[in-house]
Every structure is written in C-alpha cells, then in structure tokens.
C-alpha cells in the first residue's frame, strides 16, 4: 500500500499524477464525506482514482453536522423503515469495524410530558429502533434503551426542571468527529493508491461529443489550471450539486435544496447531566449532545438560498435554540454561555414538499449524461452506501470485470490496532510523560495512528506541551495536522483538524499565532505569510461574530461575506 500521509510532498505527487495527462478510471469531484467515500470505494475495487475538492477536506456540510451517527429515530414516525434500517446497519459497522476510534456510543434522554399514552407510543418506537439495529449481521454496538421515572430522569440529568417531565426514555445512538472521519477516509483512499487534491476547483468539463471525459481543474495553491482525463466522473458535491451540473450544461434529474442548521457550543459545566437530551420542537427535534468538555445544542431547519460556502447563523437562530432548550432546564442558558456557533447546510432532494423539514433524506444516483454520475441527498451516517451506489453506477459505464464494493470490510486509517493501543494507554502515558487523559484524547482522535504523533514527540518533547490559547490540544497535534493531515491553512487547523474555533470563548483568537508559528516550518511559511494567515483568521472570527448579531439571513450573509476565502501567496503574486 501507498503512504496514508497527506503531507506537502504527497500533495505534489497527487498534483503531478492528476495533471500528467494519463487517463483515470474515475475522477471524484467533492471532498466531503460522500466524495471521500466514493474515492475509497472506487480505489479498493482496483480502479485508478482522483479526488478533487475546491476548498479543504470536509469544509462544507461534512464538518458542520450534529456529529451524530444515528438511524434517525424520527424517521420511524414517517414510516421510513428502510432508511432507518440501513442507517442502523451502517452505525453498527462504524462502531465495531470501520472507525471504532472515531465513533462511540452516546446516551440520549427523551423527556415524557404526558402520562400513559406517550410512554407507550414513544416506548414502542424506541423498542422498534433497538430491534431494527439487530437485523443486520452485526450486534447493536450500543446498550439497549430503558424506561425512567421522573426521579430517575432527574438523577441522570440534574439540570432538568422536574415539572417539565413526568418520566423519560433513555436510548443510545453514536457520535463522531465528522471532519476527522472525512480526513481518515481521504487518507485511507490515498493509502490504497488514490490521488487526493484539496484546494483544487473544477471550472469546466472535458467533452467528446455528448460524453464527459474529464474536468478542467484550477489548483488554487499554485494558480494553475490543468486537465484531468477520466473514463467516469462522479459529482459528489452535496449542496453544490446543481452548480457542478450547470458546468456540464445539463440539469440533473433532481435538484438539491439547501437547508440551514445551526449549532451552539456551551461548556460542559453549564448543564449538569450524564446523558444527552433529545427534545421535540415545533418543526423537528432538538439535540443536546455531550462533546468532550462541551455540549452541542442543535439544530434548526430553515431554507437557505444564499452563499453556500459560508452559511451564517443569525441572532434569531441563536435565540431560538436557547429558548427551546431553556424550556426544560432548571438554570437557563444565556448568550454569555455560548462558546461557539456553527452553521451548516443539508443537501435535500427537492420536489417532495415546500418545507425543508419534509424534504427527502434519501439519496439518489443518476447518470444525466454519458461519463458523468451524480449522487445527491442522503445523510452522513449512510455515506458508505451512497458511495457504493455511485461507484456501482460509474462501473456500469466502465464495462465488465470490476469487483463489487468491499468498503464494509476496509477499516479506516487508525482503526487497525486501536483497541490494543487503548488498552496500553497508561503505559504510553508513563513512557511519554503525559497524563492518561491526554493519551485518551489523542487515541480518540487518531486511533492507532497515535504512534505517528508519538514519533514527533520523541523527536521534540516540547511538542507535548498544551497549545497556548487552547490547552485542550497539544502542540504536536498542530504540527501533525500540517505534516500528515493535509491542512494547508491556519483555518484548516483551527476549524477542522481541531475544533478550537468553536470550543473556546474567543473562537481561537489567542491560539491563532502560536498555531501559525508551529505550522510555518512544516509548510515553509515566512513571517509575512504567518501574519497574513493570522490576519485572515482573525477577520473571519470577527465577521462570524458580527453575523451572529444580525436579525435575518440576508444581513448575516452580507456581513460574513465581508471576509473572502483565504488566498495563497502565489495567487496574490499573480
């Protein structure tokens, strides 16, 4: 196998391979979870594969989710049993085989507000949910649900107002570091021979008559445009699906509509609970999700037709979530409790209803023109199924002899050996002079690949110190993000390789320069480049904060767009 390192040198090799003129079997456009999944699926079938992403890996929807791997309990109410069963099967695979280092069980408490009928109704749904999770070839992977009295519910979550419930149900789903899982998918695909290239935007398609034969790609880091020839191209760009289809001049059979969902991040001590919460709202459900030393609170579900790259949360969005969660909390949360806010866009298939909450979470795969496959819709949990179906469609255009998908048996980078390294965590802590908690933190983020970070610590023990301004993270994690995980800019590190941008009250401002100074020698930045990266990040934070004070989407979008995407030095010089 090839190296799974997304180093600067590896990027140069991918750029050389894609621009060489040699025809690929498959070119995947879109570096979110579905596109990365497509690249892994195709390359593990023995195909030659390229993967291009216009910005950073997972920079769109795939780093701005509720960070849950779940069957979709509420879809049972819609009688969408097939989607739930499929998602629960994928949940079991991720928990037990594919990514046990990144996906773990998380408990949720569902408060009951009515006596008698609600416990029977909701209890039957949760029982069916647990039963369906046993229908595949894998064990459930999470504990079974249980019924709680009001006293038992308040014991599990002391922050609940006792008068806000008559009892509760507790059930389990799973959570994931969404951006990190995408990075692991890309690295695993690279290890099997795929050529991944981020900050590479598709600006047009190559055609031979009606057939798509590749794409024109603009490498934003070198300001170079080149052609990539491929027998099949897969459009896996989520909410950008229609934009990519427009470059071909052919509309797809369905349109993708964006729905905005926002999340708040608050410190763990603001809500006293040993369990997450799931609450009903007027239009959807509200989750309160344990997240390390924090809680994630979300989400909203509103139509969005403005800038797709930087969806903005408004003051109204934030107040809505605070009002809903405060309905059940004994001590209300305020704006001062909010550490971070992030907004993401769900790619929903339009044509089913005018309300985004009712649009389909099913996915669709189609080939609108020969040589081009589009995959759209779906949900994070079922990315592997979406990828398999998309590659199946591409394979139909390649002819006979391509094996079936095997990604249900391909552990992601860091999964192999994870359990053994977890069992050795105390020994590792003693050997490297770290606390056991620090080692557990590294293992939960990197799995067995923790050895690669420990190698860096052996060379420079100072990297074992906490990062100034964000002491949940070690300095070595910043260096590793740039040297092995494909981060090309400061915001890539603070927003996606770590979550410093939403896990600190200053949104990472104090950590920006210390992190940039660590990245600089890895990526060859001079002092001017360090200043520019820091300045861009600071401006982004100020713009996002200003957007959060706006009353409506249009005003928030206009404020957020006051800071454009980061521009590399070569593009500035050009």
Q: Beta-carbon neighbour count of residue 397 at 10 Å?
A: 17
- pLDDT-based confidence at 361, cuts 50/70/90? low
Cβ contacts of residue 306 below 8 Å, gap of 6+?
312, 553, 554, 557
- pLDDT (0 to 100) of residue 149: 96
Mean pLDDT (whole number) for 170-189: 98
- pLDDT (0 to 100) of residue 570: 58
- pLDDT-based confidence at 569, cuts 50/70/90? low
- pLDDT-based confidence at 355, cuts 50/70/90? very low
The torsion angles phi and psi of 106, rounded to 5 degrees, stand at: -140, 130
Tell me: pLDDT of 251 over 80: no
Tell me: pLDDT of 138 over 60: no
Tell me: pLDDT of 573 over 60: no
Mean pLDDT (whole number) for 315-330: 97
Averaged pLDDT of the chain: 93
Q: Which residue has the higher pLDDT, 349 or 427?
A: 427
- pLDDT (0 to 100) of residue 481: 98
- Could you tell me which residues are beta bridge partners of residue 288? 277, 297
Query: What angle in degrees, to the nearest 10, is found between the helix axes of 450-459 and 425-432?
Result: 10
Mean pLDDT (whole number) for 440-453: 98
Tell me: pLDDT of 360 over 70: no
Cβ atoms of 263 and 300 within 8 Å: the answer is: no
Give the CA-trace dihedral at 286, 175, 502, 547, to 10 degrees: -40
Q: Beta-carbon neighbour count of residue 269 at 10 Å?
A: 10
CA-nearest of 102, 101, 100, 69 to 86 is 69
- pLDDT (0 to 100) of residue 136: 56
- pLDDT (0 to 100) of residue 141: 80
Tokens of 386: 């979406």
Mean pLDDT (whole number) for 346-373: 71
Tell me: pLDDT of 169 over 80: yes
**Token pair 């050997």 in the structure block, residue:** 431
pLDDT 10s digits, 222-248: 999 999 999 999 999 999 999 999 999
Tell me: pLDDT of 353 over 70: no
Tell me: pLDDT of 76 over 80: no
Cβ contacts of residue 139 below 8 Å, gap of 6+?
92, 96
- pLDDT (0 to 100) of residue 78: 72
DSSP code string of 11-76: HHHHHHHHTS-PPEEEEEE--SHHHHHHHHHHHTTT--EEEE-SSSTT-SGGGSS--EE---THHH
Tokens of 335: 């704006």
- pLDDT (0 to 100) of residue 400: 81
Cβ atoms of 560 and 307 within 8 Å: the answer is: yes
- pLDDT-based confidence at 132, cuts 50/70/90? confident
CA-nearest of 152, 151, 145, 149 to 124 is 145
- pLDDT (0 to 100) of residue 566: 78
Max distance between CA atoms of the chain, in angstroms, equals 70
Mean pLDDT (whole number) for 30-50: 98
Tell me: pLDDT of 574 over 50: no
Tell me: pLDDT of 134 over 90: no
Mean pLDDT (whole number) for 102-114: 96
Give the CA-trace dihedral at 459, 464, 466, 467, to 10 degrees: 20
Mode of pairing for the β-strands spanning 24-29 and 49-52: parallel
- pLDDT (0 to 100) of residue 139: 59
Buried b (16+ CB within 10 A) or exposed e, 549-569: ebeebebbbebbeebebbebe
- pLDDT (0 to 100) of residue 571: 52
Cα 235–chain centre separation? 18
- pLDDT (0 to 100) of residue 370: 96
pLDDT 10s digits, 281-306: 877 789 999 999 999 999 999 999 99
**pTM greater than 0.75 (yes/no):** yes
Q: What angle do CA 426, 100, 97 make, to 5 degrees?
A: 130
- pLDDT (0 to 100) of residue 554: 97
Q: What percent of the chain has pLDDT over 70?
A: 95
- pLDDT-based confidence at 280, cuts 50/70/90? confident
Tokens of 373: 């496959």
- pLDDT (0 to 100) of residue 356: 36
CA gap 251, 249 in Å, rounded: 7
Q: Which residue has the higher pLDDT, 75 or 436?
A: 436
Instruction: Give SS3 for 574.
Output: coil
């Amino acid at each position: 196998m090839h190296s799974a390192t997304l180093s600067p040198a590896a990027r140069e090799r991918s750029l050389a391979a894609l621009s060489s003129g040699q025809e690929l079997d498959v070119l995947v456009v879109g570096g979110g979870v579905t596109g990365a999944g497509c690249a892994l699926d195709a390359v593990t079938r023995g195909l030659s594969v390229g993967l291009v992403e216009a910005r950073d890996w997972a920079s769109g929807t795939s780093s701005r989710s509720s960070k849950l791997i779940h069957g979709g309990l509420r879809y049972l109410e819609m009688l969408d049993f097939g989607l739930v069963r499929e998602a629960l099967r994928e949940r079991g695979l991720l928990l037990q085989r594919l990514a046990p280092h990144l996906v773990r069980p998380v408990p949720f408490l569902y408060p009951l507000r009515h006596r008698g009928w609600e416990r029977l109704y909701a209890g039957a749904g949760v029982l069916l949910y647990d039963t369906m999770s046993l229908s595949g070839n894998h064990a459930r992977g999470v504990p079974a649900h249980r019924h709680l009295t009001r006293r038992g519910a308040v014991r599990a979550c002391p922050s609940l107002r006792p008068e806000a419930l008559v009892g509760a149900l507790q059930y389990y789903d799973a959570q994931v570091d969404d951006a990190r899982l995408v990075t692991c998918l890309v690295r695993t695909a690279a290890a099997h021979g795929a050529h991944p290239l981020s900050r590479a935007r598709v600006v047009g398609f190559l055609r031979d008559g009606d057939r798509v034969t590749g794409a024109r790609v603009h490498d934003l880091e070198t300001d170079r445009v080149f052609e990539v020839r491929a027998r099949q191209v897969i459009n896996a760009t989520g909410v950008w699906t229609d934009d990519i289809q427009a470059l071909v001049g052919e509309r797809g059979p369905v349109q993708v509509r964006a729905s905005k969902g926002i999340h708040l991040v608050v410190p763990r001590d603001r809500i006293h609970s040993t369990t997450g919460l799931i609450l009903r709202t007027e239009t959807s459900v509200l989750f309160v999700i344990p997240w390390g030393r924090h809680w994630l609170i979300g989400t909203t579900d509103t139509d969005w037709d403005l800038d797709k790259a930087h969806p903005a949360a408004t003051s109204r969005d934030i107040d809505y979530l605070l009002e809903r969660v405060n309905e059940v909390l004994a001590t209300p949360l305020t704006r001062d409790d909010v550490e971070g806010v992030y907004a993401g866009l769900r790619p929903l298939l339009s044509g089913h209803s005018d309300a985004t909450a009712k649009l389909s979470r099913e996915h669709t795969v189609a080939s609108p023109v020969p040589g081009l496959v589009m995959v759209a819709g779906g949900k994070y949990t079922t990315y592997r199924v979406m990828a398999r179906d998309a590659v199946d469609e591409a394979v139909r255009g390649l002819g006979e002899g391509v094996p079936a998908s095997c990604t249900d048996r391909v552990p992601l980078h860091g999964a192999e050996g994870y359990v053994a390294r977890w069992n050795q965590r105390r020994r590792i802590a003693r050997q490297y002079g770290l606390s056991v908690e620090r080692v557990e933190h590294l293992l939960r983020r990197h799995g067995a690949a923790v050895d690669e970070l420990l190698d860096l610590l052996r060379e420079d023990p100072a990297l074992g110190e906490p990062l100034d301004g964000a002491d949940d993270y070690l300095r070595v994690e910043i260096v590793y993000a740039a040297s092995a995980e494909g981060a090309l800019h400061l915001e890539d590190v603070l927003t996606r390789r770590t979550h410093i941008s939403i896990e600190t009250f200053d949104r990472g401002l104090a950590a920006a320069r210390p992190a940039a100074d660590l990245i600089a020698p890895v990526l060859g930045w001079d002092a001017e480049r360090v200043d520019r990266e820091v300045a861009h990040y600071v401006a982004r934070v100020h713009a996002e904060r200003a957007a959060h004070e706006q009353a409506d989407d249009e005003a928030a979008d206009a404020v957020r767009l006051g800071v454009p995407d980061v521009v590399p030095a070569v593009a500035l010089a050009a």
